[in-house]
Amino acid sequence: MDFFFVQDYRKKYRCISAEPIHNIQINFTRLQKIWIEARKRFMLLPKRILAQEQAFERVLKSQGESIRIFHSGRFEEKRIRRKFFLFLQKQRTKHILFLIGECILLPLSGLLALLPGPNIFFGVLALVTFTHWQALRGISRLSRKSYEFVSDEDLKIWENALESGPERDYPIILEKMKQKFGIENLHKILYRRKAPF
C-alpha cells in the first residue's frame, strides 16, 4: 500500500494515496433519498480534504501489506520520520476535536427533521462524522505500523518549485506526477486551481 507525504501549495503536508476518491457506501432503504442527496453534497467537499481522509481510511483495509510512504527526499530520513510522526499526532488531535463537535451537533441536527422535506444537514453531518471516525481509526493504526519511507525525485521537484519556482510551472509538474503515480484530481488536492489541460 502506497501513500504520499507531500506539501500542498500552502506548504502544508498532506498524506494521500493513489486510490481514487470514492463514495461512501451505506445501505439504508427507508432513508435512501436522504442518503443519496447527502452523499452528493458530501462529495462537494474539497478534494484535498477528501483525499487525505480516505487515505487514512484505507489503512484500515491493509492487513499484512507493507506500507510505503513516498516523500520528496529534501530531508534526511530521521527528520522526515519525525515530521510524519508529528503530522499524525496533529491529525489525530484535530480528528478528535472534530468528532467531539460533530457529536454535539448531530443530535441537534436531528431536530431539523421537524421541518418539511428531507433532513439533508443531518445526513451530510452523519457522513462527515463517519468519515472522521474512520480516518481517526486509520491514523491510530498507521501510527502503530511500521512503514518504509521512499524518496522520489518528482516530489522533490514539486516541493522545490513551491520554495522557489514560478507558480506557472505548478500545473506542468503536477501533470507529470499525476501521470507517474496515477493520482486522480492531483491538481485539486495539492493546488488550488484546476488543471489548465
What value does the mean pLDDT take over residues 84-88? 94
**Domain spans of the chain, in order of start:** 2-190
| 194, pLDDT greater than 90 | no
Report the chain's mean pLDDT, rounded to a whole number: 82
Place of cell 500500500: 1
pLDDT digits (tens, 9 = 90+) for 126-149: 788 888 888 999 999 988 888 899
Do the beta carbons of residue 157 and residue 15 sit within 8 Å? no
The pLDDT value recorded for residue 187 is 84
> pTM for the whole thing?
0.79
| 173, pLDDT greater than 80 | yes
What is the band of 34 on the pLDDT scale with cuts at 50, 70, 90?
Answer: low
The pLDDT value recorded for residue 159 is 92
